[in-house]
A and B are shown apart, each in its own frame.
Chain A
């Protein structure tokens, strides 16, 4: 299952895009409660949102973003059938992407 959930909502001449990504976003300073060892850092570095193959948001994130990041943007215009794709890359090289069609 994809780690990304995309929801869109059309409002008059705008479209709201909401993203919820399941990701630990560890900043590498938390200690494991049992072993007392720091949990290695794992966080999303780059996230891009495209609309109909055109990049609309490119986002660089640091380790101060909260666990399971939630992001929202508002697109000017947007009509039914427009394709939204989201993909991310974290510091360990993992990637994921998800496609969504505006209803």
Chain B
């Protein structure tokens, strides 16, 4: 485990949890680095295992890209975080959910999609990063243009 990015992620996770346990009003850190257009390149550098143990429920065709419902479930053990990314959005990362051990590996949300694109789900476990992909066809994009 010498990957600097993973080390960094783990440190922020530890920091976040410690801050949150000390003070309830303190929020998790929002890192602008993660919400930049370059995150896909950053991810490509880290080693990710493609898996079929992450199940993504998405419509195949979305009439309107402003609210695409997504449900992610997984049978992987020890999931610490689930991230949802839309490949062709200006800012690909939609959200990162850090789940405690009290929660099932289940997340449901709604996302904006500007155009037909792959939706990538990354699951961070103690053993590494896992990835699953699904394509959604968008008829009307959700970026106001």
A residues whose Cβ falls under 8 Å from a Cβ of B: 14, 27, 29-31, 45-46, 48, 50-51, 53-67, 69-77, 87, 89
Which chain A residue lies CB-closest to B105? A74
A74's contact among B27, B97, B106, B110, by CB below 8 Å, is which?
Answer: B106
Q: What range describes how many residues of B lie at the interface? A: 35 or more
Instruction: Name the prevailing secondary structure of the A interface residues.
Output: strand
The 4 nearest A-B residue pairs measured at CB: A30-B144, A72-B108, A74-B104, A66-B110
Which parts of B10-60 form the interface with A (CB within 8 Å)? 16-17, 20-21, 24, 27-31, 34-35
Known contacts A65-B94, A65-B95; A27/B20 CB under 8 A: no
**Closest chain A residue to B36 by CB distance?**
A62
The 8 Å CB contact of A64, one of B24, B99, B112, is B112
B143 proximity list for chain A (CB < 8 A): 27, 29-30
What are 10 A-to-B residue pairs whose CB atoms are below 8 Å?
A: A14-B104, A27-B91, A46-B29, A53-B24, A56-B100, A58-B27, A65-B110, A67-B66, A71-B108, A76-B103
Whether the pair A70, B103 counts as a contact (CB closer than 8 A) is: no
A56–B17 Cα gap in the complex (Å)?
Answer: 10
Q: In the bound complex, what is the Cα–Cα distance between A30 and B141 (angstroms)?
A: 12
Asked whether A77 and B104 contact (CB < 8 A) given A45-B30, A64-B92, the answer is: no
Chain B residues with CB below 8 A from A65, complex form = 94-95, 109-112
A sample of 5 more A-B contacts (CB under 8 A), given A31-B145, A89-B27, is A54-B100, A58-B27, A66-B66, A74-B106, A75-B103
Q: Are B104 and A76 in contact (CB under 8 A)?
A: yes
- Shortest CB-to-CB span from A59 to chain B, Å, is 5
Residues in B with CB closer than 8 Å to A76 are 102-104
Query: A71 with B86: in contact, given A64-B93, A76-B103 (CB under 8 Å)?
Result: no
Q: How far is the CA of A45 from the CA of B30 in the complex (A)?
A: 6
Bound form: Cα–Cα A100–B144 in Å: 35
B residues 58-108 near A (Cβ < 8 Å) are: 66-69, 71, 86, 89-100, 102-104, 106-108
